[in-house]
Amino acid sequence: MSTYVIGDIQGCYESFLELLGHVNFDPVRDQVWITGDLVNRGEDSLAVLRWCEAHAGSVVAVLGNHDLHLLAVAEGFVPAHRKDTLEMILGAADRDRLLTWLRHRPMAHRQGPWLMVHAGLAPTWSADDAMCHAHELETVLQGPGWRDFLRHMYGNEPRRWSPGLRGQERLRCIANILTRTRYLHLDGSLEYQHKLGLDSAPPGLIPWFDFPGRRARDTRILVGHWSTLGLVLRDDVVALDTGCLWGGALTAFRLEDGQTFQVPCPPRRASPE
């Protein structure tokens, strides 16, 4: 049995299948973990969702910001963005089943020494804290109050985690940390505007995984989300969004031996700013 962790697919179904073929993935024997953002901006998000739902026993996928966005658009709480490619899902006969499956995915997954989230962690969170707060949000998303959360999900505030947060502000902060984190300000608050790689970071911004005193630094964390960061293979963080959507590559990381596998991807969109 092998476990392959794959970065953001974002609807790039053919590249996903090519990568699975490249590693000789066997759904009876192997597992595939996905760092979130299964859907959106690529050309066949519907096929990605159908494949994952059909192979649910072999798939562990955490929710990313694009996955949450799909759920909110489907409920009519926000309009689709100009660059979204969600129409095929929204018009599909099996949309309700697929969206219910998606809504019941975890916000974080922990197994052995590994913790997988879409984007990152707050610097004050331990791995136990991350799982606890992820479970808070999962309980809401999978319970009767899920529509109320999606209705209030959007917004950049509060930008900094505090245990004293309550209600929708607390849930929004948890969601933003787990699915939108890249850089942090010196006080530990989230920076949302700067999305480019480390060589272009303005003074005063720190990548979340290099924040001084980060509590979860002894945990091996698997993430996606940050395509301009590229492939990062460190003892404390493995970043796997290698920009398949932008003509980069789709990457798999095998947990058992740390080997990486890639397939080149044709550009589906102009490069991110």
Structural domains of the chain sorted by starting position, each given as residue range(s) with its CATH number in brackets: 3-264 (3.60.21.10)
**Residues 181-215: b if buried by 16+ CB within 10 A, e if exposed:** bbbbeeebebbeeebeeeeeeeeebbbbbebeebb
Pairwise pLDDT comparison (269 vs 232), residue with the higher score: 232
Residue-wise pLDDT for 205-224, tens only, equals 999 999 999 999 999 999 99
Pairwise pLDDT comparison (197 vs 103), residue with the higher score: 103
Token couple for 219: 């945990």
Q: What DSSP element (H or E) covers 129?
A: helix 127-141
Provide mean pLDDT across the span 29-40.
98
Provide mean pLDDT across the span 161-165.
98
Residue-wise pLDDT for 187-205, tens only, equals 999 999 999 899 888 899 9
In sequence order, what DSSP letters do the residues of 229-244 get, joined into one string? T--EE-SSEEE----T
Half-sphere exposure at residue 255, Cβ-oriented, CA atoms within 13 angstroms = 21
Provide mean pLDDT across the span 75-99.
97
How large is the greatest C-alpha to C-alpha distance in the chain, in angstroms? 50
